[in-house]
Structure 1
């Protein structure tokens, strides 16, 4: 508790959150906006928006987050490298990754706007099933694809050390009528990826 008080005092002095608090807050924001916000009283619009002030109140109900302000939330949004969040007119939402029933409408992309290859990071124990059945959203609304193999590797590391990076042929998806959407400047999403559109790109 003393350490957190010191770092929050430093936040006031420096005008920004220390890195470990920013990461901690971002993870909790993602959880609320994607998965369990309703349990903390958040009321989502059909397309996933909530009031920023309501999000702050929900965060403050969680032990260890009673220090959060609107400024802190906006800082997390502005410094997020993957573009996880979107802010508009006092509202906020996660751009992708939802398990709750919201319908985020993504922009339609032309063929030229979609990279020919995108990447997905996973772990070795899941590889056999993926190569047999393809990539499925599981508990989420869409399959997430990364712009670079390095980003995919980082995603895979969250699930274990035996990382496998898969390359997804988006022209193959196009031929099968499966759409690809851009969720942020680094993340693309698709309803699913059949096995024959996947190849092994590397192992960690």
Structure 2
């Protein structure tokens, strides 16, 4: 991912509030405002969006947003508005979440929590590039039957919370297979 892509993603996912960027509750901001805050030109933004390896950024005319992965603290987005902008899906197979082995004890007790983010990220398959994280040691298989699941425009599956009893499988992962690309 390019430096510009990281800067845009960070602004639209985590720092818009503290940087004074006006943003809608579902994450849209004016491209002109993003360019001004970041001191970029439109061509650099277009290249950064195109080269974003996880397709995190979505442009619609003169507005832009991060597809998912927003922080809750200090951001003008809301869970409800984001969910209304995503597609509700009804998966009938296991979904996957990558994590560190050290996190398993807490997950067994509390389930998967979004932490400081709006939602828990899930992937549609074990080998999916969608929702992939670097340094994953364990893949957790999640039974989605009792979950409300959404698909962001970039294909990442999201839910507010995964209870511990919905986690039905844990598979060790060879680290090189899931390293950052």
Which TM bucket (shorter chain)? 0.7 to 0.9
Give a deviation string over 1:114-156, Cα, whole Å, max 9, x none.
2512111111111111122100111011001122323379404
Measured after TM superposition, the shift of residue 201 of structure 1 is 2.4
Change in Cα spacing, 1:152 to 1:202, as seen in structure 2 (3 Å) is: farther
Partner of 2:142: 168
CA contact (8 A) 1:153 1:163 kept: no
Q: Which of 94, 100, 121 is matched with 1:123 structurally? A: 100
* Match runs of 1:16-35 below 5 Å: 23-35=2-14
What is the 5 A alignment of 1:133-148?
A: 133-148=110-125
* Consecutive unaligned residues in structure 1, runs of 5 or more: 1-21, 61-67
Instruction: Name the SS of the counterpart of 1:170 in structure 2.
Output: coil
Structure 2 equivalent of residue 155 of structure 1: 133
Aligned to 2:69: 97
> What RMSD over aligned residues (CA atoms) do the two structures have, in Å?
2.1
Aligned to 1:18: none
Kindly indicate whether the alpha-carbon contact (under 8 Å) linking 2:131 and 2:156 is maintained by their aligned counterparts in 1.
no
Query: Of 149, 155, 170, which aligns to 1:180?
Result: 149
- Residue 108 of structure 1 aligns to a residue in which SS? strand
Runs of 4+ in 1 over 4 A off after TM superposition: none
Alignment of 1:202 with 2:160, yes or no, is no
Larger RCO, structures 1/2 (Cα 8 Å, 6+ apart) = 2
Distance 1:186 1:115 in 2: 16
Q: Deviations over 1:68-107 (max 9, x none)?
A: 3211212222233433111112000111111124131212
- Across the two proteins, how many residue pairs are aligned to each other? 164
Q: TM-score, normalised by structure 2?
A: 0.81
More helix by share: 1
Could you say which residue in structure 2 is the equivalent of 1:87?
Answer: 59
CA–CA separation in structure 2 for the residues paired with 1:153 and 1:191: 15
Q: Distance in 2 between matches of 1:86 and 1:192?
A: 25
Q: Confirm whether residue 53 of structure 1 aligns to residue 16 of structure 2.
A: no
Larger gyration radius, structure 1 or structure 2 = 1
The 1:35–1:185 alpha-carbon spacing in structure 2 relative to 1, beyond 3 Å, is closer
SS in 1 for 2:87: coil
Counterpart check, 1:108 vs 2:122 = no
SS at match of 1:44: coil
- Secondary structure of 2:88's match? coil
